[in-house]
Amino acid sequence: MSKQKTKRMQKGTLPVYIVLSFASLLSLFPFYWMFVMATRPSAAYNSIPPTLLPGTQLVTNFQKVLDTIPFFTAMWNTILLCTTVTLGVLLISSLAGFAFAKFHFPGKNFLFILILLTMVIPPQLGLIPQYYLISQLGWLDTLLGAGVLFLLNPLGIFLMRQYVSQSVPDELMEAAKLDGCSNFRIYRSIVLPIIKPAFATLGIIVFTLVWGEFLWQFTVLRDPSSYTLQVALASLNNAFRVDFGMLLSGVFWATVPLIIIFLMFNKLFISSITEGSIK
């Protein structure tokens, strides 16, 4: 009904369009400008008025990035880290969420409340002992050390518990049990297929979280060969005189993959925010 109304621009909506367009423009401009700077020599930065059109140095600038930081190693490290952590969190959370939703065991409520409490503790509280622990284990400068912390995702358990209790009917489980299914078989053959949509949501949340996290990766990864993208990019800015063209070239190429993934799955990204925070 109301869809038909939207076909034509209604009068009085112009200010709304102006505000929304302005907001979109401000949101997109840094992306565009990053691209412009990535194609310009550093000197272009000093020109007045500022350059707002792409130049010809795209390859040259990126070559400088490759000479300064192990860009592709860092990219590979990041992808490896994000993928493993995401799969780990999905496994841990779905198992625990399934248990919290469907099994009765003494102490269940206490344990669940404990998980919710861990969501409130700032990650910086344990930073020093965690660093000490990782160094004692010899995991400094390894992806294992960088990743293990992110396996703790209380939100994941919360989401999975919610999803399993809403979408896996008890009758289905009972029927499966009568047929002699073990609990693990139920998890594998019944629960997993049903909760696939929740995997997509949680997967995106965890992947972007680990991709962008800085403090822990910066603390644990000191050796350039173990750098993830974020640590490598940050190190670009440490020189006394920074080559802006090179710097933004690095940022640009590190951001492009994420933009492509986002544009492909933008609905999923946006719904993951509302599901991840509101439920």
Partner 1 sequence: MKIIFIWPSFYKEVEGVENVQKRKQTAAKNVKQKQMSEKKKDMISGYLYVAPFFIIFGIIGLYPAVFSILLAFQKWNGLGEMDFVGMQNFVIVLQDPLFWKSLYNTIIIGLMGTAPQLIVGIILAYFLNMAVIRFTNFFRVTIFMPYITSMVAVALVFGVFFSSNETALANYVLGLFGFDPVSWKTSEWGAKVAISLMVFWRWVGYNTIIYLAGLQSIPKDLYEAATIDGANKIQQFLHITVPLLKPFIILTVFMSTVGALQLFAEPTVFLGSSAFNRDEAMTVVMYLYRDAFNLGSFGTASATAVLLLIIIVGAAAINTWITSGMGRKKKRGV
**Footprint of partner 1 on residues 70-89 (CB under 8 A)?**
none
264 binds partner 1 per the rule CB under 8 A: no
**Footprint of partner 1 on residues 226-245 (CB under 8 A)?**
229-230, 233-234, 236-240, 242, 244
Q: Name the CA dihedral angle for 185, 186, 188, 194, rounded to a multiple of 10 degrees.
A: 160
Out of 80, 87, 185, 214, name the contact with partner 1 by CB under 8 A. Answer: 214
> What minimum distance in Å lies between the beta carbon of 226 and partner 1?
16
Reference 61, options 238, 228, 251, 235; nearest CA is 251
> What minimum distance in Å lies between the beta carbon of 248 and partner 1?
6
Out of 5, 56, 109, 223, name the contact with partner 1 by CB under 8 A. Answer: 5
CA distances in angstroms from 214 to 15, 16, 131, 235, listed in the order given: 39, 37, 14, 12
Give the span between the Cα atoms of 261 and 279, in whole angstroms: 25
Do the beta carbons of residue 275 and residue 201 sit within 8 Å? yes
For partner 1, give the closer residue by CB, 53 or 120: 120
255: which 2 tokens?
């951001």
184 binds partner 1 per the rule CB under 8 A: yes
18: which 2 tokens?
């102006």
28 binds partner 1 per the rule CB under 8 A: yes
53 binds partner 1 per the rule CB under 8 A: no
149 binds partner 1 per the rule CB under 8 A: yes
Polymer length of the chain = 279
